[in-house]
């Protein structure tokens, strides 16, 4: 193809601006439409996000150093799971009955959420860093939860007898990161807790997101704040996130 | 009131208007989620039969949400214009569907009845219409609004330029803004969804948008889509606010969960009008809505999500908005499961909004956990353009890097303009011409100048 642009222009005049945003700026045109390469790049990113949504969590490949307990929600498969958030918030009866009573300061749940990929890639590393950051805390048995929404942690935490539950859950995949993890901390977990009673750390991933160490560091801050206040949620966020949060990790 | 229908030898009973509407609604996951959808396709069609035989007058005596419990119901009752309703007062819903499609029901006739319609009537008739009916009637309706340009004229297709950035970085936003302007987008509004709730950030962004607009004398309006109370605070602090944005829903309780009330909307409407910043018109409000909003706020009263959506339009039309759009696929597959449901909902929302007298646009979009892709968005954008949609939202490459969903691209807007021979708002089109962004056939130039003079120059 002939380049009809003025000769003094560089080949990609957008190169400098691309550093300012991940947005897909300066894409090519074919007539009115996007250039074919840009169409395929978007399709590739979407395909990766779709794969993450429909992936299942394989606990054998999580390389967890300790034994873990596997549980399932009331949503029997991924198709029903995305349609019925209510089913993803409760344990199936069989698994609810066999969860042990194991009182502890904090229980960690590795949950697929909307990206099993995120749980598999980020959760073990965050868990390891969190253990190191919480030497004085008793930590309950690690739970691996399938077809899980955030609120499933409430029932798990209550059955275990945990003072606090941390859901390590895959976020809704975006095109720039299909493997981004969130941590939701809920003090005194029980069925019926509202979202305003939780604290969240999000965007934990390797593409410019929060690192595992930084996430663990911030989580430890929030956990100590929750223990002092005796609750989590909006009140804790105001106290801890603004006043006491350490500077971002280097 | 109890409704009955007999279909294929089976007698169906619907206990009240709310139930009848829900059972007649096309299948969607949100109605299944709250347990109001028809049990099967035969019950759905039976409900449509009963609905078709229902006199429109019945909607004036039975509410889906009690008057005492919801200020949206009270607003609808108080504002009902009996004279506007008169031409159709003798009809059933089924007869009205045929009347709407008739050639005598032209733009003037449809505009004349708008204030006589309740949201439930409009929702009801949409449930008796196929997709082509929703398009054929909507394209007859013209809703023209204006601020610094004129939206909704025949042969025009507006676009919102949405240059979002995950950390509200002003230079990142400016880069996406430049990209869109060079592709001819942004006549409906230059509108940023900020990532944070901060008033300071909102001030920075609204000033930046206004500086760009003034420097290049762009006949368009800007908006930072933050909570209405933040916008009021920004106005109080002297920010150059063109449009006041707010998400709204169809029940008082859902609006309360958004932190808004009719009184607050009144206050913001007056505050924005008092700034007198429009040059060719005084429509200063911008609303977004979407099926499922009231369900996700647990404020649905057992009413189907599409009827609740139309009730939001009754709120919107109180404030003579410049722009209203449904964010049709954003809320997720638990409300609209797949491309088929999203497309149908987009056409319903556009039709119902237009019939209610609103300047309807659409964010044609989907999330990555919905069973949809860019082909579904292509279908919906083409159908909405055929239906005469006022404006569509566009982002760089169709990928919103802040909200993590896919909308249309600036390029998609160019495709629609070519396919439908549509142009942006006339004032904005003249500006594109002045900036040498159009070629000899009035298409956005593929070899346009690669910057606006003095803007962040991509050649730097």
Q: What is the CATH number of the domain that holds B397?
A: 3.20.20.70
* Mean pLDDT over the full length of chain A: 89
ipTM associated with this complex: 0.94
Task: Decide if B459 and A10 are in contact by the 8 Å CB cutoff.
Answer: yes
Residue with tokens 């989590």: A232
Task: Decide if A25 and B164 are in contact by the 8 Å CB cutoff.
Answer: no
Residue A249: predicted pLDDT = 35
Q: What backbone torsions phi and psi does residue A92 show, to the nearest 5 degrees?
A: -65, 150
Which of A201-215, B57-71, B173-187 has the lowest average pLDDT? A201-215
Instruction: Please list every residue in chain B whose beta carbon sits closer than 8 Å to the beta carbon of residue A115.
Output: none
Domain boundaries, chain A: 59-242
Residue B460: predicted pLDDT = 44
pTM: predicted TM-score of the whole model, two decimal places: 0.91
Task: Decide if A29 and B411 are in contact by the 8 Å CB cutoff.
Answer: yes
CB B191 within 8 A of CB B162: yes
In terms of DSSP H, where are the helices of B317-409? 339-355, 374-386
User: Which of A14, A27, A175 has the CB atom closest to B458's CB atom?
Assistant: A14
Task: Decide if A23 and B369 are in contact by the 8 Å CB cutoff.
Answer: no
User: Which of B178, B367, B409 has the CB atom closest to A172's CB atom?
Assistant: B367
Q: Is residue B82 part of a domain?
A: no
pLDDT in tens, A50-74: 999 999 999 988 888 888 999 999 9
User: Which of A22, A31, A46 has the CB atom closest to B401's CB atom?
Assistant: A22
Domain containing B316 equals 145-434
The fold of A59-242 is: Rossmann fold (3.40.50)
* Mean pLDDT over the full length of chain B: 95
Alpha-carbon gap, residue B262 to A30, rounded angstroms? 47
Question: Looking at the predicted structure, is the pLDDT value of residue A240 above 50?
Answer: no
Instruction: Please list every residue in chain A whose beta carbon sits closer than 8 Å to the beta carbon of residue B447.
Output: 4-5
Query: How many Å lie between the alpha carbon of B325 and the closest alpha carbon of chain A?
Result: 23
Instruction: Please list every residue in chain A whose beta carbon sits closer than 8 Å to the beta carbon of residue B414.
Output: 29, 32-33
Residue B187: predicted pLDDT = 98
Instruction: Please list every residue in chain A whose beta carbon sits closer than 8 Å to the beta carbon of residue B163.
Output: 23
A104 is in an annotated binding site: no
A150 is in an annotated binding site: yes
Q: Is residue B27 part of a domain?
A: no
Residue A245: predicted pLDDT = 41
Task: Decide if A23 and B172 are in contact by the 8 Å CB cutoff.
Answer: yes
Locate the chain B residue with the closest alpha carbon to A115: B369
A242 touches chain B (CB under 8 A): no
Give the long-range contacts of residues B245-248, CB within 8 A, separation 24 or more: B245/B191, B245/B286, B245/B287, B245/B288, B246/B285, B246/B286, B246/B287, B246/B288, B247/B287, B247/B288, B247/B289, B247/B293, B248/B287, B248/B288, B248/B289, B248/B312, B248/B315, B248/B316
Task: Decide if A172 and B369 are in contact by the 8 Å CB cutoff.
Answer: yes
Q: How many domains does chain B have?
A: 1
Question: Looking at the predicted structure, is the pLDDT value of residue A123 above 90?
Answer: yes
pLDDT in tens, B206-265: 999 999 999 999 999 999 999 999 999 999 999 999 999 999 999 999 999 999 999 999
Question: Looking at the predicted structure, is the pLDDT value of residue A2 above 90?
Answer: no
Task: Decide if A14 and B414 are in contact by the 8 Å CB cutoff.
Answer: no
Alpha-carbon gap, residue A249 to A135, rounded angstroms? 20
Mutate: best of A4, A174, A179, A207, partner B, most B CBs <10 A = A174
Two tokens, residue B15: 């206990």
Q: Residue B298, by phi and psi: left (phi above 0), alpha (psi -120 to 50) or beta?
A: left
């Amino acid at each position: 193809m002939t380049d009809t642009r003025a000769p003094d222009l560089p080949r990609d005049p957008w190169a400098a601006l691309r550093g300012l945003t991940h947005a897909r700026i300066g894409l090519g045109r074919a007539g009115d439409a996007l250039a074919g390469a840009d169409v395929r790049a978007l399709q590739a990113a979407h395909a990766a996000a779709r794969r993450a949504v429909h992936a299942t969590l394989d606990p054998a490949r999580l390389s967890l150093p300790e034994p873990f307990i596997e549980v399932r929600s009331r949503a029997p498969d991924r198709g029903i799971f995305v349609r019925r958030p209510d089913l993803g918030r409760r344990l199936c009866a069989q698994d609810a009955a066999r969860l042990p009573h194991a009182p502890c300061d904090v229980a960690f749940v590795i949950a697929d959420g909307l990206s099993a990929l995120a749980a598999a890639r980020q959760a073990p590393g965050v868990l390891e860093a969190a253990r190191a950051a919480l030497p004085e805390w008793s930590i309950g048995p690690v739970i691996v939860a399938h077809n899980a929404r955030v609120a499933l942690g409430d029932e798990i935490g209550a059955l275990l007898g945990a003072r606090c539950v941390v859901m390590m859950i895959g976020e809704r995949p975006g095109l720039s990161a299909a493997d981004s993890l969130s941590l939701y901390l809920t003090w005194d977990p029980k069925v019926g807790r509202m979202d305003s009673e939780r604290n969240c750390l999000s965007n934990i991933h390797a593409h410019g997101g929060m690192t595992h160490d930084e996430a663990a560091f911030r989580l430890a801050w929030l956990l100590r704040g929750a223990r002092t206040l005796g609750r989590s949620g909006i009140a804790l966020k105001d106290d801890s996130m603004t006043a006491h949060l350490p500077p971002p990790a280097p | 009131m109890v409704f009955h229908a007999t279909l294929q030898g089976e007698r169906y009973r619907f206990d009240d208007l709310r139930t009848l509407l829900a059972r007649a609604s096309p299948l969607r996951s949100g109605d299944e989620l709250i347990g109001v959808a028809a049990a099967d396709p035969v019950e759905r069609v039976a409900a449509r039969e009963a609905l078709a035989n229902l006199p429109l007058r019945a909607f004036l005596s039975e509410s889906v949400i009690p008057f005492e419990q919801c200020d949206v119901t009270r607003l609808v009752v108080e504002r009902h214009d009996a004279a506007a309703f008169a031409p159709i007062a003798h009809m059933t819903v089924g007869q009205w569907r045929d009347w709407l499609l008739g050639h005598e029901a032209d733009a003037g006739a449809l505009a004349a009845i708008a204030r006589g319609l309740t949201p439930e009537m409009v929702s009801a008739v949409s449930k008796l219409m196929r997709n082509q009916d929703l398009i054929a009637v909507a394209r007859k309706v013209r809703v023209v609004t204006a601020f610094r340009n004129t939206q909704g004229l025949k042969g025009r297709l507006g676009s919102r330029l949405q240059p979002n950035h995950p950390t509200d970085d002003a230079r990142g936003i400016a880069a996406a803004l430049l990209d869109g302007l060079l592709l001819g987008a942004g006549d409906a509004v230059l509108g940023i969804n900020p990532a944070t709730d901060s008033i300071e950030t909102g001030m920075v962004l609204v000033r930046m948008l206004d500086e760009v607009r003034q420097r290049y004398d762009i006949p368009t309006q800007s908006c930072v889509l933050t909570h209405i109370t933040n916008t009021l605070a920004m106005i109080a602090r002297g920010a150059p606010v063109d449009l006041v944005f707010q998400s709204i829903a169809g029940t008082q309780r859902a609006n309360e969960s958004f932190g808004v009330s009719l009184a607050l909307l009144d206050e913001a409407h007056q505050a924005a009008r008092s700034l007198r910043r429009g040059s060719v018109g005084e429509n200063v409000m911008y609303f977004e809505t979407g099926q499922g909003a009231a369900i996700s706020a647990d404020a649905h009263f057992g009413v189907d999500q599409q009827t609740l959506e139309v009730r939001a339009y009754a709120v919107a039309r109180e404030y003579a908005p410049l722009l209203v759009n449904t964010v049709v696929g954003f809320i997720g597959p638990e409300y609209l499961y797949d491309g088929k449901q999203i497309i149908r909902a987009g056409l319903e929302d556009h039709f119902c909004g237009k019939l209610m007298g609103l300047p309807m646009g659409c964010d044609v979009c989907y999330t990555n956990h919905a069973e949809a892709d860019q082909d579904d968005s292509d279908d919906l954008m083409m159908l909405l353009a055929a239906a005469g949609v006022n404006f569509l939202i566009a982002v760089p490459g169709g990928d919103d890097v802040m909200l993590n969903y896919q909308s249309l691209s600036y390029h998609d807007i160019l495709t629609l303009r070519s396919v439908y021979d549509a142009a942006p708002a006339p004032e904005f089109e003249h500006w594109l011409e002045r900036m040498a962004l159009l070629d000899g056939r009035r298409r956005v130039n593929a070899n346009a100048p690669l910057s606006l003079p003095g803007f962040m120059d991509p050649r730097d």
